């Protein structure tokens, strides 16, 4: 009924929902509110929710999801463990409300594209949500990394791609020894000259450094030696890695199963064969291949692929990278 009302009164800008509206509650839970209420400017849910056992809510992609809405949800869902607020209008105040009211239960927080949230908001989560397992701050342009140091040791997955991390604020080694961290995505940094100024947990299994242009052989050597459990590593478009770096991966990453090296300008036939000789558990590699009819100045040659397949027939070679990455398909947001 609520959906029909919103569809009929397309210019409705303010709505108050009271107790006993399961239809509207379903819009919230199933993430259909942005479709039906796209013109709403004000939404009052202070008396709407009574979901004491609800553990997951998705309020993504809606301009009407603000601090007040988040406060209503936090007050009415004391058992909430997962909340997604992608591209909403939530600010640090809303995150503070969440962290204060749901500190004991909240484990997964997804604020992808929330441009108004800063390191202050993340510090609220760090201080209050000591059971936090997964955090996505991808495309949060105002988060520069000062709050990462305080993240709880329970954190398993941190999605921080396309962020504006400031190397002067992220102290070297701030992620070193971070409890049980297994997934880390710091790909596509907003600052193309951003240095890799932080360390890495020895428990890492998936690491995404795609298009981190400042990554050097020294970084690769440190990571490959310090993260022996790595199973998937995305180094696509990391153009400064030379043979020395690939040799380090081959020597130390004995648990590596998947490697992304698309458009790495210095990854050639010798690099491919080096990886094949060293990484005994490798099963899949994404690589740019030079074809005779293509004028692409990077990648391995067909001859190199043939030699590699002779050496490692058990390894699959793919040219195109998947849209998803690593533990995304295993439940890590």
pLDDT in tens, 129-140: 999 999 999 999
Range of the domain at 131: 51-319
| Cα–Cα distance measured from residue 253 to residue 216, given in angstroms and rounded to the nearest whole number | 17
In whole numbers, what is the pLDDT of the chain averaged over residues? Answer: 82
CA 70 to chain centre: 22
| Domains contained in the chain, number | 1
Q: Which two tokens stand for residue 267?
A: 């990854």
> What is the model's pLDDT at position 333?
46
pLDDT(258) > 70: yes
Residue 123: pLDDT band by 50, 70, 90 thresholds? very high
Residue 325 lies in a domain: no
The model's pLDDT over 33-83, given as tens digits with 9 standing for 90+, comes to 444 444 444 455 555 545 566 788 888 888 888 998 899 888 888 889 999
Q: 134 with 109: CB under 8 angstroms?
A: yes
Distance, first Cα to last Cα, the chain: 31
Residue 122 lies inside a defined structural domain of this protein: yes
Report the CATH number at residue 299.
3.80.10.10
d(CA 307, CA 330): 33
| pTM of structure | 0.82
Specify the range with the lowest mean pLDDT, choosing from 107-116, 199-208, 246-255: 199-208
Specify the pLDDT at position 13: 47
So what's the pLDDT on residue 149?
77
Q: Does pLDDT of 128 surpass 80?
A: yes
Report how far residue 116's alpha carbon sits from residue 95's, in angstroms, rounded to the nearest whole number: 11
Q: What is the mean pLDDT of residues 199-217?
A: 91
Q: Is the pLDDT of residue 15 over 50?
A: no
pLDDT of residue 39: 47
Nearest to 198 by CA among 218, 178, 171, 221: 171
Q: Which residue has the higher pLDDT, 3 or 147?
A: 147
Q: Say what the pLDDT of residue 328 is.
A: 43
Any alpha helices (H) in the chain, and if so which ranges?
2-8, 22-29, 33-36, 67-76, 92-102, 119-128, 217-226, 243-252, 269-278, 302-311
Contact 296, 328 (CB under 8 A): no
Q: Mind listing the pLDDT tens digit for each residue in 260-285? A: 999 999 999 999 999 999 999 999 99
- Answer yes or no: are the C-beta atoms of 237 and 208 closer than 8 Å: no
The answer to whether position 147 is within a domain reads yes
- Does a structural domain hold residue 8? no
The residue among 26 and 250 whose pLDDT is bigger is 250
pLDDT at position 322 is 64
Q: Which run of H or of E encompasses 286? A: strand 284-286
Residue 330 domain-assigned (yes or no): no
| Residue 23 within any structural domain of the chain | no
Which SS3 state, helix, strand or coil, does residue 121 take? helix
42 lies in a domain?
no
Q: How many Å apart are CA 135 and CA 88, to the nearest integer?
A: 16
Burial of 123 (0-12, 13-18, 19+ CB in 10 A): buried
Judge whether 9 lies within some domain. Answer: no
Phi-psi region of 199 (alpha: psi -120 to 50; beta: other; left: phi over 0): beta
């Amino acid at each position: 009924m609520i959906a029909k009302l919103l569809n009929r009164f397309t210019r409705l800008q303010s709505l108050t929902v009271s107790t006993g509206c399961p239809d509207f509650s379903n819009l919230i839970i199933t993430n259909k509110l942005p479709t039906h209420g796209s013109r709403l400017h004000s939404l009052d849910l202070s008396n709407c929710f009574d979901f004491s056992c609800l553990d997951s809510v998705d309020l993504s992609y809606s301009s009407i999801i603000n601090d007040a809405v988040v406060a209503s949800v936090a007050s009415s869902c004391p058992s909430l463990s997962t909340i997604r607020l992608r591209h909403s209008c939530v600010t640090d105040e809303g995150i503070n409300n969440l962290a204060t009211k749901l500190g004991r239960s909240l484990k997964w927080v997804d604020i992808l594209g929330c441009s108004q949230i800063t390191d202050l908001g993340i510090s609220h989560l760090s201080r209050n949500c000591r059971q936090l397992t997964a955090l996505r701050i991808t495309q949060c342009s105002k988060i520069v990394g000062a709050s990462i140091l305080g993240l709880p040791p329970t954190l398993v997955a941190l999605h921080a791609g396309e962020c504006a991390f400031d190397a002067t604020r992220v102290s070297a080694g701030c992620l070193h020894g971070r409890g049980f961290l297994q997934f880390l995505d710091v790909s596509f940094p907003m600052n193309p000259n951003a240095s890799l100024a932080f360390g890495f947990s020895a428990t890492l299994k998936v690491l995404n450094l795609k298009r981190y242009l400042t990554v050097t052989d020294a970084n690769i050597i440190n990571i490959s030696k310090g993260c022996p459990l790595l199973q998937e590593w995305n180094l696509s478009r990391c153009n400064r890695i030379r043979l020395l770096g690939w040799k380090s991966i081959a020597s130390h990453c004995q648990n590596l199963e998947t490697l992304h090296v698309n458009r790495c300008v210095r990854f050639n036939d010798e690099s491919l064969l080096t990886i094949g000789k060293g990484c005994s558990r490798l099963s899949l590699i994404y690589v740019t291949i030079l074809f005779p009819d293509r004028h692409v100045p990077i990648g391995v040659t067909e001859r190199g692929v043939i030699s590699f397949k002779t050496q490692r027939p058990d390894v699959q070679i793919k040219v195109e990278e998947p849209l998803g990455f690593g533990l995304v398909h295993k439940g890590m947001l």
